[in-house]
Amino acid sequence: MAVAVALQTTVLVIVIALLSAAGAGKLARMDGATYSSALTRAAAAFATVITLAATVIAALAAVSLRHRRGQGARTPPRRPTSLS
């Protein structure tokens, strides 16, 4: 189940990145840019979306790992136990 969710998420991120790149390239061409310049802008948009997705995933993984270790919720400090 987890593998399927990870695969679907990866495909979704790639599709969004491709759509973003296509939009950036089209807007660049409409603005009068050359094909090479439009391709460069599209590649930059694709790389930006992939980088942003990787950053969000890393942040969520760090929060999830911290929460699993029991450090996510605030707990009151423990009182020292007496030996008597």
Taking the CA atoms of residue 42, residue 48, residue 53 and residue 58 in that order, the dihedral angle to the nearest 10 degrees is 150
The total of structural domains in the chain comes to 1
Residue 80 inside a domain? The answer is no
Instruction: Output the average pLDDT for the chain.
Output: 88
Q: Residue 61: what residue type? A: A
pLDDT, one tens digit per residue, over 19-56 is 999 999 999 999 999 999 999 999 999 999 999 999 99
Residue 60 inside a domain? The answer is yes
Residue 83 inside a domain? The answer is no
**pLDDT at residue number 38:** 97
Q: With pLDDT > 70 as the criterion, what percentage of the chain qualifies?
A: 86
Residue pair 23/15 in contact by the 8 Å Cβ criterion: no
Alpha-carbon gap, residue 62 to 64, rounded angstroms: 5
Could you tell me the pTM of the whole model? 0.75
Q: With pLDDT > 90 as the criterion, what percentage of the chain qualifies?
A: 64
Residue 57 inside a domain? The answer is yes
Residue 73 inside a domain? The answer is no
Residue 18 inside a domain? The answer is yes
Q: Print the domain residue range for 60.
A: 2-68
Residue 31 inside a domain? The answer is yes
**pLDDT at residue number 44:** 98
Structure-block tokens of residue 63: 């929060």
Residue 70, CA distances (Å) to 59, 62, 65 in order: 17, 13, 9
Structure-block tokens of residue 49: 């979306």
